[in-house]
Amino acid sequence: MTELTESLKVLVADLVVFKFKAHGYHWNVEGKDFSEYHALFENIYVDADGSIDLFAENIRKLGDYAPYKISRVLQLSTLPESDVTSNAQTMTSDLLQSNDMLIAKLKQAFNVANGENEQGVANFIAERIDMHQKWSWQLRASLHA
Ligand SMILES: [Fe+2]
């Protein structure tokens, strides 16, 4: 167990919560721009879902075990849950806030990976930062000025 594997475990948990939030927003969004939000939330949850496996496998590569119990995931996660039922703008700003929290966590983990001289993991995290920055741009651009 290292600081890096601990950071990666929290990221797995945060991404499970983030993925489920984006997926739930994809299901429940309503309004005149339904199709655009439905599709944007889908792009985000599909990407986040795919990344969870890679975070978990990096934990295994570093010799530790990946969290998989829902109770453990909820214990580890630092992202706020949400009670938004249907409003597209509220969902978008909430998901943007969670996404920005994830970026901050990813940047911390990137520094930890470099500190532990784990360049492969650092490269993987750098790619994930890039992707979440794209989601921040697209979510922010979807909010009315
Ligand atoms: Fe769907």
Q: Encode pLDDT of 76-110 as tens digits.
A: 999 999 998 899 999 999 999 999 999 999 999 99
Q: How far, in Å, from the CA of 87 to the mean position of ligand 1? A: 17
Percentage of residues in the chain with pLDDT exceeding 90?
97
Q: How far, in Å, from the CA of 44 to the mean position of ligand 1? A: 12
Q: In the predicted model, what is the mean pLDDT of the chain?
A: 96
Q: What are phi and psi of 30, to 5 degrees?
A: -135, 160
Q: Output the domain CATH number for residue 89.
A: 1.20.1260.10
Domain containing residue 20? 3-141
Q: How far, in Å, from the CA of 73 to the mean position of ligand 1? A: 24
Q: How far, in Å, from the CA of 47 to the mean position of ligand 1? A: 14
Which pLDDT score, from 0 to 100, does residue 77 have? 97
Q: How far, in Å, from the CA of 132 to the mean position of ligand 1? A: 21
Which pLDDT score, from 0 to 100, does residue 98 have? 98
Q: How far, in Å, from the CA of 86 to the mean position of ligand 1? A: 15
Q: What is the dihedral of CA 80, 84, 88, 93, to 10 degrees?
A: -30
67 pLDDT more than 90: yes
111 pLDDT more than 80: yes
Rounded-to-integer distance, Cα 85 and Cα 72, Å = 26
Count the domains in the chain.
1
pLDDT tens readout for residues 15-50: 999 999 999 999 999 999 999 999 999 999 999 999
Q: How far, in Å, from the CA of 27 to the mean position of ligand 1? A: 6
Q: How far, in Å, from the CA of 103 to the mean position of ligand 1? A: 25
